[in-house]
Amino acid sequence: MHLYTYDGTFEGLLTVVFEAYERKAWPTSIEQEHLAQPSMFGETIAVPADEEKAQRVWQGLQKRLSVGALQELYHTYLWEQPGSEQLIFGYIRLAFSTADNIEGNYAAPCVLQVQQAARQVHREKHRMEAFVRFQKAADGLFYATISPDFNVLPLIVGHFERRYADQRWAIYDTRRRYGAYYDLQTTSLVSLELTPQQRRAAPPQAAMDAEEDKYQQLWQVYFDHVNIPERKNPKLHLRHLPKRYWKYLSEKQPRPA
């Protein structure tokens, strides 16, 4: 039995694949190092991320998989569900084990599971792009907080770079405690250590732009005018806009007294 641990990055996970093939020791489990529990049985192998080794694995996959399948693998990594690393390893091992294209081989459970996981992540990506609402701070920075089901922040950055290319903005993932900051030229991923109270608290009013409340009220008035009561369909509304996304939307916030 071999437990592999890695640093949680995609490069680190690809390095685990390289090391497993190098050692001919197939993992029974792959876990992030800060989550791994010591194993009483078998060997624990700590694998530091190595860009060169990860690149060799990725180049090998590029010869065997389409661009779409490679994207699905990365999305499965962002899926972050228990066992996802082992699922990715199984998919990669299957790809390396044959010269045939495995992308339609649904007799192999890992192929279908990777496609299903990638589909879930892709849907969450589009929801975040649609539902994120920025607020303007006093220093001119537009910021938003998110807490998506999956780690889609790396996937939505490009959308907001194109849409808000002339504004400084930041998006912070409160669940994973990191964010993206755009400075009008480049976007950087940043980590912030906030207390649970700070992550949940609204920004102080002094930090807000003086016009922000007016923008919020105007958006709510607009929503009221375009909403047609006779066509109201609560079930359909919840299907397209689950309640967990309401916290991002100005039109769903309590009205001032």
Q: Kindly state whether residues 73 and 143 are assigned to the same domain.
A: no
Exposure b/e, 64-77, CB count within 10 A at least 16 = b: bbeeebeebbbbbb
Q: Kindly state whether residues 59 and 87 are assigned to the same domain.
A: yes
- Taking CB atoms within 8 Å and a gap of at least 24, the contacts of 34-38 are 34/8, 36/3, 36/5
pLDDT band at 191 (very low <50, low <70, confident <90, very high): confident
pLDDT band at 9 (very low <50, low <70, confident <90, very high): very high
pLDDT band at 243 (very low <50, low <70, confident <90, very high): confident
Q: Kindly state whether residues 109 and 10 are assigned to the same domain.
A: yes
Residue-range definition of the domain harbouring residue 217:
211-257
Domain boundary among 98, 124, 150: 124
pLDDT band at 3 (very low <50, low <70, confident <90, very high): very high
Q: Kindly state whether residues 184 and 220 are assigned to the same domain.
A: no
The pLDDT value given to residue 93: 98
Domain count, the chain: 3
Question: Is the pLDDT at 215 greater than 50, yes or no?
Answer: no
Tell me the mean pLDDT in the region 39-48.
87
CA dist., res. 257 & res. 249, Å (int): 19
Q: Among 64-78, 171-185, 203-217, which stretch is predicted with the lowest mean pLDDT?
A: 203-217
Q: Kindly state whether residues 35 and 14 are assigned to the same domain.
A: yes
Q: Kindly state whether residues 33 and 138 are assigned to the same domain.
A: no
Q: Kindly state whether residues 147 and 172 are assigned to the same domain.
A: yes
Domain boundary among 66, 95, 124: 124
For residues 256 and 12, the model is more confident at: 12
Question: Is the pLDDT at 17 greater than 80, yes or no?
Answer: yes
The pLDDT value given to residue 92: 98
pLDDT band at 38 (very low <50, low <70, confident <90, very high): confident
Q: φ, ψ for residue 165 (rounded to 5)?
A: -65, -20
For residues 91 and 230, the model is more confident at: 91
Of 28, 58, 59, the closest CA to residue 43 belongs to 28
Residue 233 structure tokens: 């369909």
Q: Kindly state whether residues 72 and 95 are assigned to the same domain.
A: yes
Percent of the chain with pLDDT over 90: 65
The pLDDT value given to residue 206: 45
**∠ CA 208-211-215 to the nearest 5 degrees?**
105
Of 28, 153, 146, 11, the closest CA to residue 78 belongs to 153
Average pLDDT, the chain: 85
Percent of the chain with pLDDT over 70: 75
Cα separations (Å) of 222 from 130, 241, 250?
A: 17, 18, 11
Residue 55 structure tokens: 């690149």
Q: Kindly state whether residues 22 and 116 are assigned to the same domain.
A: yes
Report DSSP letters for 174-235, one per residue.
TTTTEEEEE-SS-EEEEE----HHHHHSPPPGGGB-TTHHHHHHHHHHHHHHH--GGG--HH
Tell me the mean pLDDT in the region 200-207.
50
Domain boundary among 97, 124, 151: 124
As to burial, measured by CB atoms within 10 angstroms (0-12 exposed, 13-18 middle, 19+ buried), residue 250 is middle
Q: Among 44-53, 136-145, 185-194, which stretch is predicted with the lowest mean pLDDT?
A: 185-194
Contact 188, 181 (CB under 8 A): yes
Q: Is the dihedral of CA 6, 12, 17, 23 positive or negative?
A: negative
Q: Kindly state whether residues 140 and 73 are assigned to the same domain.
A: no
- Per-residue pLDDT tens over the stretch 112-170: 999 999 999 999 999 999 988 898 888 889 999 999 999 999 999 999 999 999 999 99
CA dist., res. 250 & res. 134, Å (int): 10
The pLDDT value given to residue 249: 59
CA dist., res. 128 & res. 142, Å (int): 16
Q: Kindly state whether residues 41 and 54 are assigned to the same domain.
A: yes
Q: Kindly state whether residues 117 and 9 are assigned to the same domain.
A: yes
